[in-house]
Structure 1
């Protein structure tokens, strides 16, 4: 039951509004000049407790960075690569602005100011939306934990993403590019364009994934590359026992590509569980190293006049299939 405590001090008589929180602890709703005002304040807080609407404002004093690092991040069941991306977003975008702020003091206007500043600094609309989605998740968890009463990201006005047309390699450009790839890596690029597999899936392929009798390739693993500081067990490149979308998939390969793969396996003396495409030491190929030392020089040497990413081979593969009348859903 709400009650009032009368206090006598140097400035005269004052009245403190009292009530009990959901845990039964005594709380103050403030000090007032009249008993009636104090009683009303105490009753208001007591009604919030009874209706389940009461909020402990002191919880919102935790800083944004402390909450993220002690509550939000540990609660996320995510891959090491995703964790590394989140930490990068936080360090570059959010900790410098919100890190030392009490999470309960961060308002929608603060979020909107970040969006406006980020856009003014040249951050793309797509990146702003991606970062904002993560920020929204932080505050959503804080609302669920009753740290704050509302999500300040809820009504943010975000810039519109304008889709950009991206050129696709033509078969002729691909052949020129393939001819510019050094011999040790050429077969790997052929497999990439013929199958449309992702980079991590490509460098995780092993002889055991090939069924030479039926002419198929099964993608059942992927290799993830993360910064060393975020690497599990200190390994910057590590194998996951499933590819993206969590479902192994099997695809047919052209007979000539199968013959090339079989010849490569025999020439290298690979065992069933060795990597088909690896460094000289048999370790996974770093995407960043391959891009700077092999891919970029080959693109330049081929005369292809636009920036081609390794990932673009997937789009070229899909485009050629569609042009040939294939159904990508099958």
Structure 2
């Protein structure tokens, strides 16, 4: 039962504090007032709110957005480790600077709308704005609303800029052959060919182990995936986290072609891999860091740099051009490299230890992109810049273009809905040939 309690204020005047029992039976304050009538009214209103099921108390809404997110939402919200890492970075960079010091109860839709407008004015892409508002901010306010920290949803109904859906460009078989030939090693070729033959995601592909492949039945079982994290988001402070389930949360089994199974079997035998060994592993000794070749340049033919902010120009291939003109052409960079090498040779600078790839055997995605995929893509000169993940798109498109059943392709790729798989119908460049042939036949009748 609620009640009012009399006390004496600092000025010696009587004050009345209203108390009520929350849903757990704990006594809480509904505020302090100058007379008993107002105090009684306050605790009666508080008890009425508890009876309605709105068992939050005013103090919870007075906490700042930053306090709620950092102490309540992030520690307790269930999400994948990789999602937690992404959310934390976006919250610290884009959300907290705007909403951090504001009390939860004071945040209104107009604040969210103004924040979206500012991000757009600052040059943020529509996709970034949609991710920050639609995924992160909505999730925070939805949880706060469900927990009755706030009693209306500030970001619900606030519109974000339209994200343009660009047509998907699919790697053709001819383009894949060029890319395949440009890969530097046989191991890289086998990994990329397995990707196009299976349609696996990067985390599923690089976590494949010998035990996952049945060479007799040619059945591949996808039951795990690996994600690469910052050590502070890893439960054990490591870099790679193996999850006992793929992205869709379900195991899947499908058959591979005889030729790729034979290649994988030969790879297993030549590398003498055990049952629990990774099919594709990263070894530091196999990929030594190459140094840039030193090219001798004739200083007299290099010319002068563009004018700097003071209108001064300097001769290329000199330290003054590198430092004062901020020139980063090959001769200027070579001059700076020579200067640093001479200092190290005379003991004036401590040589930095060569950077090694931080890995437990899994292939780092960024390393593979920079050292293997991007050079091969550039050498192949495809006319566009496909990502490694586009091999998965190509796998789906090739299967559907070849007449594979839509449901079979859905289960093979691990899509949650068949609508996702349908996006790959008619995505190859020659997909409209049948329509054009039909148009030609109709026109020829006339």
TM-score normalised to structure 1 length? 0.87
Number of the residue aligned with 2:273 = 270
CA distance in 2, matches of 1:25, 1:85: 38
Instruction: Find the residue that maps to 1:217 and give its secondary structure.
Output: strand
Number of the residue aligned with 2:400 = 322
CA distance in 2, matches of 1:9, 1:199: 67
CA distance in 1, matches of 2:194, 2:225: 15
Contact kept in structure 2, 1:212 and 1:258, CA below 8 Å: yes
Deviations 1:234-268 (A, max 9, x none): 21112122211121211111111111111111111
Residue 18 to residue 206, structure 1, CA distance change in 2 (3 Å): closer
> Where do 1:200-219 residues align within 5 Å?
200-219=203-222
Instruction: Find the residue that maps to 1:304 and give its secondary structure.
Output: coil
Correspondence 1:85 to 2:86 = yes
Number of the residue aligned with 1:62 = 63
Deviation at 1:88, TM superposition (A): 1.0
Residue 47 to residue 261, structure 1, CA distance change in 2 (3 Å): closer
Number of the residue aligned with 2:350 = none
State which of 296, 303, 307 in structure 1 corresponds to 2:385: 307
Deviations 1:168-190 (A, max 9, x none): 11110010001111123110000
State which of 182, 186, 190 in structure 1 corresponds to 2:193: 190
Larger radius of gyration: 2
Deviation at 1:56, TM superposition (A): 2.8
Deviations 1:43-63 (A, max 9, x none): 656654554457532222212
Deviations 1:77-129 (A, max 9, x none): 22211110111111111111112222222111111111112222333333322
CA distance in 2, matches of 1:326, 1:122: 43
Residue 243 to residue 38, structure 1, CA distance change in 2 (3 Å): closer
Deviations 1:153-177 (A, max 9, x none): 1221222222111311111001000
Residue 41 to residue 79, structure 1, CA distance change in 2 (3 Å): closer
CA distance in 2, matches of 1:77, 1:8: 45
Residue 214 to residue 233, structure 1, CA distance change in 2 (3 Å): same
Number of the residue aligned with 1:176 = 178
Tell me how large the CA RMSD over aligned residues is: 2.9
- Return 52-61 or 199-208, whichever deviates more: 52-61
- Any unmatched runs of 5+ in structure 2? 285-359, 409-446
Number of the residue aligned with 1:157 = 159
Deviation at 1:196, TM superposition (A): 0.3
Residue 169 to residue 9, structure 1, CA distance change in 2 (3 Å): closer
Contact kept in structure 2, 1:48 and 1:54, CA below 8 Å: yes
Residue 17 to residue 217, structure 1, CA distance change in 2 (3 Å): closer
Instruction: Find the residue that maps to 2:406 and give its secondary structure.
Output: coil
Number of the residue aligned with 1:297 = 375
Residue 40 to residue 168, structure 1, CA distance change in 2 (3 Å): same
- Return 59-68 or 16-25, whichever deviates more: 16-25
- Any unmatched runs of 5+ in structure 1? none
Instruction: Find the residue that maps to 1:148 and give its secondary structure.
Output: coil
- Return 132-141 or 42-51, whichever deviates more: 42-51
Instruction: Find the residue that maps to 2:167 and give its secondary structure.
Output: coil
CA distance in 2, matches of 1:284, 1:229: 19
Deviations 1:216-244 (A, max 9, x none): 21111211111233222121112122211
Deviations 1:22-79 (A, max 9, x none): 45545347558xx988887776566545544575322222121221122111222222
Contact kept in structure 1, 2:16 and 2:34, CA below 8 Å: yes
Number of the residue aligned with 1:135 = 137
Instruction: Find the residue that maps to 2:388 and give its secondary structure.
Output: coil
Residue 45 to residue 273, structure 1, CA distance change in 2 (3 Å): closer
Contact kept in structure 1, 2:17 and 2:33, CA below 8 Å: yes
Higher RCO (Cα < 8 Å, 6 or more apart): 1
Correspondence 1:94 to 2:95 = yes
Number of the residue aligned with 2:107 = 106
Contact kept in structure 2, 1:15 and 1:38, CA below 8 Å: no
Contact kept in structure 1, 2:54 and 2:148, CA below 8 Å: no
Residue 329 to residue 120, structure 1, CA distance change in 2 (3 Å): farther
CA distance in 1, matches of 2:251, 2:116: 39
Contact kept in structure 2, 1:19 and 1:29, CA below 8 Å: no
Instruction: Find the residue that maps to 2:221 and give its secondary structure.
Output: strand
